[in-house]
Structure 1
Amino acid sequence: MKDSFKHQGLRQQLVNVLKNKGIKDLAVLKAIGKIPRHLFMDSSFLDHAYQDKAFPIAADQTISQPYTVAFQSELLQIKPGDKILEIGTGSGYQTAVLCELGAKVWSIERQNELFKRTNKFLPKLGYRPKKLIFGDGYIGLKDEAPFDGIIVTAGAPFVPKPLLSQLKVGGRLVIPVGDDIQVMTMYHRKGPKEFEQEEFGEFRFVPLLEDKN
C-alpha cells in the first residue's frame, strides 16, 4: 500500500493532462490528484497507472480512464453531503472520487468477485461509502431514493426507468447510452415528470450487466 513521491508527481502530471483536456472542476481535479490510482490496479500495470487510459481489472471489467471518471464526476456537480448512487462499483476508483468530493455514496456491483474485493479494499484507503451492494444496477436502490445524483459507470443499451424515478427534482443522472459505442448522456430532473436531456459525445465502456439469475 505504498504511495511514493514518484506516484504523487505522476498524479500531478495526470491532473495537468485532464486540465488540458478541458476538466475545470477544481474539486474533481484535487480528488484525482489525491487518490492513489496505482493501488486500484494489478501490480503488473503500475507503470501505466497515471496514464490517461482504461486498464483491465478482475472479472473482465476495466478501471475507467481518468478523463472519463473526471468528466462524469464534473457533470454530476456534486456538493458535500449529496446523496449519490453509483451503478457499477468496479475497482472502487470512481467510488473513491465521489467520497473525496464529500458525497454520501451508495454503490451497486453486479460481479461478486469485484464486490467482495472492493468492499474490503476501500476502507483500507480510508474511503467508507454509505453502502456497497451486490445486486442489479438496472433497478437502482429504491429504499434509499431519492438521490441528488446517479452515475452509471458501464455502457447501458437503454436508460433504466427506475434510475430516472429515483432522482430528486433538481438531481442529475449521468449515463453512457449505447451498444458498442456509448453517448455520454445527462438527465436533469426539472419536475416530477419533466427531464432535460443533454448529450456529451462518444465514449467506450464495458457493458452494464443485467441480473440474469
Structure 2
Amino acid sequence: MRVLLLSLAAALCPVLGAAQSNFVAGSYELADGTKGAGQLEYQPGNHPKLLVKDAAADPASKAGKKGQAYSPEQVRSFDLGPDHYVLLHSIKLDSGMPMSMSMTKKDEFAKVVETGKLELLQYQVFYAGMGYAAPGGAGRSSSPQNTVVYLLRRQGEDNATMVPVGAKKYREVMTAYFAGRPELLKKLSNQPKNESEFRALVQEYNAGQ
C-alpha cells in the first residue's frame, strides 16, 4: 500500500505543479516602447507585478523559469488571453458611502472592459476599511480582501475615477463624464439597477461619439 501511495504521489506531482502555474500566453509593451510576447502572469495586490517568460528567454535562465518581474512603472500595457490591461498613473477611489474614506492610488493596472471615447475599466481593490456600494444599492462598511470596482476614464488619459455603483454619488460622477450628452443625462438614475444598466450607458455614449 505504501508503495502504491508513493507511486500515485509521484504521478500526481507534475500535474499538481502544472495546476499551480498561472502563466498564460500573452503580449506586453514596456514603458520604453519595447514589445514582446510569451507566457505572462499578473500578480495583483498591494505590490502588483507582471511576470514575463519571454519567448526569446533562455528556458534554463531565471527569467525563463520563473519569469522576469516588472513593476507597474515599467509597463505600459499587456494582454492576457482576451483581456487587455493598461497602466493608470492615478485612480481616484471614492465609494460615496457615509463614513467611508476616499483615496488616490498611483501606478496601478486595470482591465479595459469597454473601449471608445469613454473607457470603462475594472480594478481590484486589495485593502479593508473602505465602504463601498454594489449594484442594486447593497452596501457594506468595509471592502473584502479583493473587491472589483469599475472605473471611468476619457480615451488617452492616464487617470481614472471610480464609479460608485449604487451610491448617491453615482449620478454626480456619471454626469461629469456625460457632459454634452443631454439625452444620456436624462437616462441617469440616482443608482442603477445593475451593472448592465450603466455599461449600456457607456456603450451608448461611445456609439454616438
Q: TM-score range by the shorter chain?
A: under 0.3
TM-score (norm 1): 0.27
TM-score, normalised to structure 2's length? 0.27
Q: Which has the larger radius of gyration?
A: 2
More strand by share: 2
